[in-house]
Amino acid sequence: MEYPVYLQLRGTENVYAVQGPDRFWECTRIGGQWLRQDVVCNTWPDRQRVLDMLEDGGPWEPISSQAFLGPWLEDATEDGQGAFKVKEHVDLAPWTTFGISAHARWFVQVTTMGALREAMAWAEEQKVPLLVLGGGSNMLLHGDVHALVVLVQLTGIEVLSDDGQHVEVAAGAGEGWHDFVMRTLDEGWGGLENLSLIPGSVGASPMQNIGAYGVEIQDRFAWLDAVRLSDGALQRFDAEQCDFGYRESVFKRGQKGLWVIVRVAFDLDRSSILRTGYGAIEAELQAIPKTQRTHRDVSDAVIRIRQSKLPDPKQIGNAGSFFKNPSVPAEVAQKLFLDHPNMPQYPLPDGRVKLAAGWMIDQAGWKGHKRDTHGVHDKQALVLVHFGGGTGLEIWQLAEDIMASVKQRFGIDLEPEVNQISIPRKGGTEA
């Protein structure tokens, strides 16, 4: 059976989305408000309820995903009272960590599923592209954006199951990633501590399978819910369907620009093993005896290391690592090693070898390079920085110059990790 299955209880307004044999969402109207309950069926009577729902000829009748989401349109406005508010010509500088001035032709903040669906319907009606914006920490805007920019601010953190050891927890796409990680640590749930202090939103975290200090979200990922832009269908993706890779997922490849991720769930563990073998974490934790170390200690260590190495976007515009670390066949790595014996190389399980883009950029003489408004960070050559007053195209020009110079020196093609956004007035797409 393919889930979710959308149903309505005959003779009532109540609608249901059966998410699997042991979970369903029930939407009922309480007073003037729609209430959605996520029911996890751990016991026999609840599981039987799911079977009853799916049985032909029972009191539940199938409906479309549109009809299921329809009631939520009623609370579609930002404040729950006025008309749907699309703003015009909004400067996106405050909404992106590069802090580059570029204007969204239309802009809307959505805090409910209804508002999101209304935004999608609006873009469809006006025949304009829609660009999803989270924390703006992984995008370079090449210019003004002739699209409806939708700032996803769906919040809420929900524990879906907890057996005393393992916890399944889901978070709205608009939750801040770092705050979410801190919340999991406050609750004593381990697994995400190495990913502390990564900027951005929970919703964007699966986009590029965010990773740091030996951990990627795929290690703790359970599933995500996403709404398809073309028809509004709500679909659940498991890890396999997300097809995660190094700073990659299906949402950056085949399904690029087709979905809005609305909720992401993680499997966490109160006594998960601490991952301290990567970078300087072990050195940072020297003062704490091994048996006394906690997930929080690892998070604190990661935060200290990151603060000492990476520029804070509040002080200086940047989007973290601008380029991915390339991987090459072993023969290519061997040849490079002969020419450059100091070159860092990391063998991968698939036989390929990962190279350090930052090292190559540094060797090519770019570390600390400055142009009037922008340049390359002086401590971390992988990070391009914006001092103020620059444009996205200027920064992209610098990126192209760096890529050409690394190609010339090492024969390696660098690829940007940061999403390049180019939606000019006469149509166009996210590059």
Ligand X SMILES: Cc1cc2nc3c(=O)[nH]c(=O)nc-3n(C[C@H](O)[C@H](O)[C@H](O)COP(=O)(O)OP(=O)(O)OC[C@H]3O[C@@H](n4cnc5c(N)ncnc54)[C@H](O)[C@@H]3O)c2cc1C
Cβ contact 157:171 at 8 Å: yes
Is 216 catalytic? The answer is no
The distance of closest approach from Cβ of residue 174 to ligand X in the complex, given in angstroms and rounded to an integer, is 8
247 is catalytic: yes
Q: How far apart are CA 366 and CA 281, in angstroms?
A: 28
Alpha carbon distance 48, 44 (integer Å) = 6
Q: Which is nearer to ligand X, 131 or 182 (CB)?
A: 131
Say whether 400 is catalytic: no
In the bound complex, what is the minimum distance in angstroms from residue 319's beta carbon to ligand X?
5
Q: Which is nearer to ligand X, 310 or 403 (CB)?
A: 310
Q: What is the DSSP letter of 97?
A: T
Nearer to ligand X, 419 or 422 (CB): 419
Residue 200: CB minimum distance to ligand X, A: 2
Q: Which is nearer to ligand X, 17 or 133 (CB)?
A: 133
Q: What are residue 223's DSSP bridge partners?
A: 238, 265
Nearer CB in complex with ligand X: 50/120: 120
In total, the chain counts a number of residues equal to: 431
Using CA atoms, how far apart are residues 423 and 431, in angstroms rounded to an integer? 8
CB of 9 to ligand X, least distance (A): 31
Measure the CA–CA gap between 238 and 12, rounded to whole angstroms.
32
Q: Of 137, 196, 201, 321, which residue is the catalytic one?
A: 321
Angle between helices 295-309 and 177-186 (to 10 degrees): 150
**Could you tell me which of 200, 210, 196, 202 has the C-alpha nearest to residue 298?**
196
**Least Cβ distance, residue 237 to ligand X (angstroms):** 11
Nearer to ligand X, 40 or 316 (CB): 316
Give CA angle at 296 (290, 302), nearest 5°. 90
Q: How far is the CB of 224 from ligand X (least distance, A)?
A: 9
Distance of alpha carbon 179 from alpha carbon 187, whole angstroms:
12
Largest CA distance in the chain: 76
Dihedral over Cα of 201, 319, 343, 408: its sign: positive
**214 phi-psi bin (left φ>0, alpha ψ -120 to 50, beta other):** left
**Shorter beta-carbon distance to ligand X: residue 190 or 313:** 313
Instruction: Find the shortest distance in angstroms from Cβ 140 to ligand X.
Output: 9
Out of 105, 247, 263, 275, the active site residue is: 247
Q: Write the CB contacts of 35 (distance below 8 Å, at least 6 apart in sequence).
A: 27, 28, 29
Q: Please state the closest distance from residue 258 (CB atom) to ligand X, in A.
A: 9
How many angstroms separate the CA atoms of 242 and 31, rounded? 38
Nearest CA to 301 out of 273, 278, 321 is that of 278
What's the min distance (Å) between Cβ of 197 and ligand X? 8
DSSP state of 231: T
Q: How far from each other are the two terminal CA atoms of the chain, in whole angstroms?
A: 37
Which value, in Å, is the radius of gyration of the alpha carbons in the chain? 23
Nearer Cβ to ligand X (382/403)? 382
26 by DSSP, 3-state: which? strand
Instruction: Please identify, using beta-carbon distances, which residue of 227 and 355 lies nearer to ligand X.
Output: 227
Contacting residues toward ligand X, per CB under 6 A: 97, 131-139, 152, 173, 198-201, 203-205, 207-208, 210-212, 259-261, 310, 313, 318-320, 419
Contact, 110 vs 116, CB < 8 A?
Answer: yes
Phi, psi of 416 (to 5 degrees): -70, 140
Residue pair 320/98 in contact (Cβ under 8 Å)? The answer is no
Catalytic positions are 247, 321, 417
